[in-house]
Amino acid sequence: MAISDDVLVIGGGLAGVSSALAAAQEGVRVRLISHKKSTLRNASGLIDLLGYADGELVADPFEAIPVLPEGHPYERVGIEAIRGGFSLFDEAVGASYLGAHTDRNALVPTYGGTVKPTARYPVSTAAGLASDSRSTLLVGFEGLSAFDAPLAAEHLQAADVPFDVHGVSIAFPKRFRSDATAMRFARALDRDEPAENGESHTRDVLVETVKAHLDGAERVGFPALLGEDTPEEVRGSLESALGVDVFEVPMGPPSLPGLRLEDRLYEALDEAGVRVTTGNPVAEFDTENGRITTVYTDRGGQRVPFEASEVVLATGGLVGKGIGSNRKGVYEPVFDCYVSHPEERSEWSREGAFDDHPFARFGVSVDRDMQPLDAEESAEYGNLRAAGSVLGGYDLANEKSGSGVSIATGYAAGRAAGEHA
């Protein structure tokens, strides 16, 4: 017998979770199915809304959104849904995130040595904001080549940040194999493992080493590896021992703040009573009178049916494989929704690495009710909505808008699905 729900959300990333939470608020029965681990683990953990519009840095996203072009996901959902989505997010993550006290963006120093505009940031990064003028020491670890603290400090100086900043590279108190990732460092701090010298523990040795470089700095930044399971405790113990604020510098994949966010969001789903089924891809679906009635996942060759009255497609973009492509064209692999793209592959990209690439905007187009549209601009299915980076019409990297679009469109699609169910 088929599993039956009111709303079925396909996709377990930020957009899927936001959809499921919004739908659940409408008091209906919601299920989220996802195939693979979400791309949140690749994400920095920063929740951007809109960092750049027309290539210009944006201090207040809500002032820039009204002038975005027609078809942009923010234009589709409108300001009210964006605010609604962010309220939902703030509630879901609670005290683990900051930034809700203002509409303005914060500038967070990241591992490349630049600053990134963002609307919300993990509490662990809060003491590092670039508009805070306290003098700063950045600490990197030999062997962790993804973050070169002295170089990042020089880079921040070149960006004219309003504070003194220095960087130092030190040996981590415990020696790992040459290819250890941030995860291994984090675990050693979580467990406060014995240090290399065999006499003291990791955190104590780390504190003593950093103290020698403090030189009056009022805050200290480390790459985002201060604990996987108990980050608050790790950071807190370092702060009290050092006597200054400690912050994390967001890193590339695998990203601990991204993983922590994923954990927090799945707890919120659980609290909201959303049922979660993971591990299998969607293989096929049934329709009746232009509506999707049943979606089947493929469990090692066996078809598992999921019935629902409303469906949200939140399978991600090119990275998450919610948008697929081959030599012939670009497509949406689950429901084969229409994806507009140039016929010639050579027109999918531009010459410069950071040019305005058409491929970055590939995705399905939706109406203002978040329903995917076919080539003739009619709704593909009567009960299907789409959210997150499966949508086209925006460049999440260039605009620094990926998280915000997922949250706002997820909220809008989920709420509408919940209302109709």
Partner 1 sequence: MSVHTSSGTESDTEVVVIGGGSTGCGIARDLAMRGVEVTLVEKGNLTHGTTGRMHGLLHSGARYAVSDQESARECITETRVLEDIASHCVEETGGLFVQLEEDDDAYYEEKLQGCRDCDIPAEELTAEQAREVEPYLTNEAQRAIRVPDGAIDPFRLCVANAADTERHGGRIETHAPVTDLLVEDGEVVGVEIQHESGPGKRVHGKEGETEEIRAEYVVNATGAWAGRIGEMAGLDIEVRPSKGVMVVMNVRQVDTVINRCKPKGDADIVVPHETTCILGTTDEEVSDPEEYPEEQWEVDLMIDELSKLVPLLEDARTIRSYWGVRPLYEPPDTGTTDPTDISRQFFLLDHADRDGVAGMTSIVGGKLTTYRLMAEEISNHVCEQLGVEGECTTAEEPLPGSEDFSVLRDYMEEFGLRSPIGKRSVQRLGSKAEEVLKTGERNPVVCTCEAVTSAELRDAISHAGTDLNATRIRTRASMGNCQGGFCCHRMAAELSPAYDERVVRDSLDELYQERFKGQRHALWGEQLSQAMLNHALHATTMNRDRDPARKEEPGIEYGAFDAGPSPGVSGDGSTRATADGGVRSDGGTPDSGAGRSGKSAKKREGEHGDQ
Interface of this chain with partner 1, residues 77 to 106, rule: CB under 8 A: 98-99, 101-102, 104-106
Residue with Cβ nearer partner 1 (289 or 326): 326
CB 311 within 8 A of CB 326: no
3-class secondary-structure state, position 80: helix
Q: Is 110 in the site for partner 1 (CB under 8 A)?
A: yes
CA–CA dist 391, 352 (Å, integer):
24
Residue with Cβ nearer partner 1 (321 or 420): 321
Among 4, 278, 340, 349, binds partner 1 (CB under 8 A): 349
Among 111, 185, 335, 411, binds partner 1 (CB under 8 A): 111
Number of Cβ within 10 Å of residue 159's Cβ equals 14
CA–CA dist 18, 89 (Å, integer):
7
Number of Cβ within 10 Å of residue 234's Cβ equals 26
Residue with Cβ nearer partner 1 (159 or 283): 159
Of 23-31, 144-152, 274-282, 408-416, the window that binds partner 1 (rule: CB under 8 A) is 144-152
Q: Is 150 in the site for partner 1 (CB under 8 A)?
A: yes
CA–CA dist 373, 386 (Å, integer):
10
Residue with Cβ nearer partner 1 (19 or 403): 403
Instruction: Assess whether the previous peptide bond of 150 is cis (omega < 30° from 0).
Output: no
Q: Is 183 in the site for partner 1 (CB under 8 A)?
A: no
Q: Is 199 in the site for partner 1 (CB under 8 A)?
A: no
Residue type, 344: E
CB 38 within 8 A of CB 406: no
Give least dist CB 361 to partner 1, A.
11
Task: Give how far Cα 164 sits from Cα of 116, 158, 242, 249, Å.
Answer: 18, 12, 18, 17
Among 70, 160, 199, 288, binds partner 1 (CB under 8 A): 160
**C-alpha atoms less than 13 angstroms from C-alpha of 295 in its C-beta half-sphere:** 29
Residues within window 291-330 making contact with partner 1, judged by CB under 8 A:
317-319, 321, 324-327
3-class secondary-structure state, position 198: coil
Phi and psi at residue 34, to the nearest 5°: -140, 150
Of 76-84, 163-171, 274-282, 305-313, the window that binds partner 1 (rule: CB under 8 A) is 163-171
Q: Is 41 in the site for partner 1 (CB under 8 A)?
A: no
Among 212, 301, 354, 375, binds partner 1 (CB under 8 A): 354
Give least dist CB 81 to partner 1, A.
22
Q: Is 116 in the site for partner 1 (CB under 8 A)?
A: yes
Q: Is 262 in the site for partner 1 (CB under 8 A)?
A: no
Residues within window 231-260 making contact with partner 1, judged by CB under 8 A:
239, 245, 250-253
Among 26, 60, 190, 298, binds partner 1 (CB under 8 A): 60
**C-alpha atoms less than 13 angstroms from C-alpha of 344 in its C-beta half-sphere:** 4
CB 238 within 8 A of CB 203: yes
Residues 6+ apart with CB under 8 A from 26: 415, 418, 419, 421
Give least dist CB 44 to partner 1, A.
4
Tell me the three-class secondary structure of 48-65, residue by residue.
CCCCEECCEECCCHHHHH
CB 146 within 8 A of CB 179: no
Give least dist CB 324 to partner 1, A.
8
Among 59, 197, 270, 299, binds partner 1 (CB under 8 A): 59
Task: Give the contact letters, 357-376, x = binds to partner 1 (CB under 8 A), - = no.
Answer: x-xx----------------
Among 351, 375, 376, 377, binds partner 1 (CB under 8 A): 351
